[in-house]
């Protein structure tokens, strides 16, 4: 495997960054997870735009233009002969000192890794998954805004640990108001009648690329899309529930905190959206 680091392609064993990089020392950086399907990079423009928005929010100047970053992603996929795969795009603050001061970091570091990924077992896509609500609260927007896809993912990791300790692969995270924010790595949706509902971004949900695609597909299907504040009560009493994310795609949820959702199996709206999403990913994107 060849890894892109600051304009060079390096063998996996030689793809290294300094121990003084603030991305390692402090989680000071931003990233994107991107998928490739059928020889195309899906929603590349949207992912790169979100990367630059995250960077702007933490006053990190990416030393490349958006078009140059996009070209680096495509080139890395091409170099690794990726037709179906996952891309991790990372920008760190760069090499600095052991102090916090980011101004000591002279040059940001850009990394692109193109490989494979499978977040959940195939059986869960067919039968649905069980998830739990965990004690770890979603970061406050005025502390570390969840809209920033930063390298500091400890909030999500702690929630993931709690889910794993409960015997589940995923966790529902609530915000400080007790409303549903998102899961550890995915946005969450419910179906209630003809309504397709997901927590608002202000609740602590990530500006999900897949989330946006699903909201658009819902409208095209004749569903009424909404982004109201949701509580666990709303989740428990939903007709259907599913999660969305670049890595996860769309995965049905059939049980939350021991409560069976709907009929306890992937519902018709979910299955239709899964089918339509897979068709879309196979037919659109930036050619590799």
User: Which position among 45, 56, 83, 149 bears the catalytic label?
Assistant: 149
Handedness of CA 29, 32, 33, 38 (dihedral sign): negative
Q: Is 149 a catalytic residue?
A: yes
Torsion of CA 228, 230, 234, 235, to 10 degrees: 120
Q: What three-state secondary structure class fits 117?
A: coil
> At which residue do the structure tokens 């929630």 appear?
159
147 touches 201 (CB < 8 A)? yes
40 touches 287 (CB < 8 A)? yes
| Separation CA 203–CA 218 (nearest Å) | 21
Q: Which two tokens stand for residue 178?
A: 């007790």
Q: Which two tokens stand for residue 193?
A: 């009648």
E strands of 38-106, at which residues? 40-41, 85-92
E strands of the chain, at which residues? 2-5, 8-11, 29-37, 40-41, 85-92, 109-115, 129-133, 170-174, 180-183, 187-192, 195-197, 224-226, 240-245, 249-256, 259-260, 286-287
| Separation CA 20–CA 219 (nearest Å) | 48
Q: Catalytic residue positions?
A: 149
């Amino acid at each position: 495997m060849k890894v892109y680091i600051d304009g060079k392609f390096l063998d996996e064993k030689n793809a290294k960054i300094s121990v003084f990089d603030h991305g390692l020392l402090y989680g000071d950086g931003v990233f994107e997870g991107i998928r490739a399907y059928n020889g195309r990079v899906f929603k590349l423009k949207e992912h790169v735009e979100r990367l630059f928005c995250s960077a702007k929010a933490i006053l990190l100047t990416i030393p490349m233009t958006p078009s140059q970053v996009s070209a680096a992603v495509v080139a890395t996929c091409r170099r690794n002969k990726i037709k179906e795969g996952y891309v991790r795009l990372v920008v760190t603050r760069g090499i600095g000192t052991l102090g916090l001061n980011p101004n000591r970091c002279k040059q940001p570091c850009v990394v692109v890794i193109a490989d494979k990924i499978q977040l959940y077992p195939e059986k869960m896509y067919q039968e649905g998954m069980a998830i739990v609500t965990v004690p770890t609260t979603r970061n406050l927007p005025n502390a570390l805004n969840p809209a920033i896809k930063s390298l500091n993912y400890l909030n999500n990791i702690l929630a993931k640990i709690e889910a794993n300790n409960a015997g589940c692969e995923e966790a529902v995270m609530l915000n400080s108001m007790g409303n549903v924010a998102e899961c550890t790595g995915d946005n969450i949706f419910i179906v209630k009648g003809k309504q397709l509902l997901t927590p608002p971004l202000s609740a602590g949900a990530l500006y999900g690329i897949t989330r946006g695609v699903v909201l658009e597909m819902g409208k095209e299907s004749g569903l009424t899309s909404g982004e109201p504040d949701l509580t666990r009560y709303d989740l428990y009493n939903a007709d259907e529930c599913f999660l969305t994310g670049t890595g996860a795609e769309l995965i049905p949820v059939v049980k939350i905190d021991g409560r069976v959702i709907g009929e306890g199996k992937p519902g018709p709206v979910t299955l239709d959206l899964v089918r339509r999403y897979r068709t879309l990913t196979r037919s659109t994107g930036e050619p590799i």
